[in-house]
Amino acid sequence: MSLSRTVTFSALGIDRRSINGPLTGARNSTMLSLIGNPRGTYDTECRWPTNQAVLAQIATEDVGPFRVSGLKPAVDTLRNILSDIRSQEREVYDALGHVGMLCCRLVRNSRSAISNHSWGTAIDLTLEGKLDRRGDGRTQEGLLRIYKIFNAHGFFWGAAFPTEDAMHFEVSEQLIRQWADEGKLSSGSAVFDNGLIDFGDRGRIVEDLQQALNLALGLDLDVDGAFGPATRAAVMEFQRVNGLTVDGIVGPNTQAALGM
């Protein structure tokens, strides 16, 4: 059997959106506050960090079947994940490769959200030298056999993104906050959470916001989980018609008015 052969989630009866259980992808605000901003500018090109405080937290090491550059605790955790895959799914382990971990850029098709690759906390895997196709609602069979191992170590599987990305695994919001509590991040030791939903954020909480805005304003925002210019404009319109401070930031008052 080819481990790179793809199957549809629907044919397997799997709800890919809930496949990570309680784990969520790390938010930009969390990454920026606890690790730092890797560089001053971002576009679609893959670039190296320029912030020396972030670079000081980057390690380049062997993790088993290949070598990666990434945030030091992410690299250490990935090594443990791959060790478990080696013992539990040796056939998959032997077929694994990757196309990058540290890569400062925007999330694909976004003009605001910074990819978690920018901090070296995400990795895109190949199987038998092949990359799973993004956005087709399918996954390589080998990835399906190992995602629970990633979950067990606190990594979020990109199959659950609004645009399915089954090749992608990243450190979850929960694990980043745990590392902060444990003092593993040099830029901060306390968990940061200002309760705001802001420009550049992404994930299920932004999808909920977009759905609420569509319902409240009769709009047709794309429910893509990325807080970009269109979402910010809709937030400002909602704030304007409801007598709230028009700042495009979804704080407690705006969330309450939206019923979130």
Give tens-digit pLDDT for 144-196: 999 999 999 999 999 999 899 999 999 999 999 999 999 999 755 444 556 78
As a whole-number percent, the residues of the chain with pLDDT over 70 amount to: 97
**Domain residues of the chain, as ranges?**
6-181, 204-258
Looking at domain 204-258, its CATH architecture is Orthogonal Bundle (1.10)
pLDDT at 40 over 90: no
pLDDT-derived band at 19, boundaries 50, 70, 90: very high
Domain 6-181 carries which CATH code? Answer: 3.30.1380.10
Residue 113: the pLDDT is 86
Q: What is the DSSP letter of 38?
A: S
Mean pLDDT of 139-145: 97
Mean pLDDT of 193-200: 79
If DSSP states are collapsed to H, E and C, what string results for the chain? CCCCCEEECCCCCCCHHHCCCCCCECCHHHHHHHCCCCCCCCCCCCECCCCHHHHCCEEEEECCCCEEEEEHHHHHHHHHHHHHHHHHCHHHHHHEEECCCCCECECCCCCCCECHHHHCCEEEEEECCEECCCCCCEEEHHHHCCHHHHHHCCEEEHHHCCCCCCCEEEEEHHHHHHHHHCCCCCCCCCCCCCCCECCCCECHHHHHHHHHHHHHHCCCCCCCCECCHHHHHHHHHHHHHCCCCCCCCECHHHHHHHCC
As a whole-number percent, the residues of the chain with pLDDT over 90 amount to: 76
pLDDT at 68 over 80: yes
Tell me if 6-181 shares its fold with 204-258. Answer: no
Mean pLDDT of 2-15: 94
Prediction pTM value: 0.82
pLDDT-derived band at 200, boundaries 50, 70, 90: confident
Residue 192: the pLDDT is 53
Residue 195: the pLDDT is 77
Give CA torsion, residues 88, 177, 53, 117, to 10 deg: 50
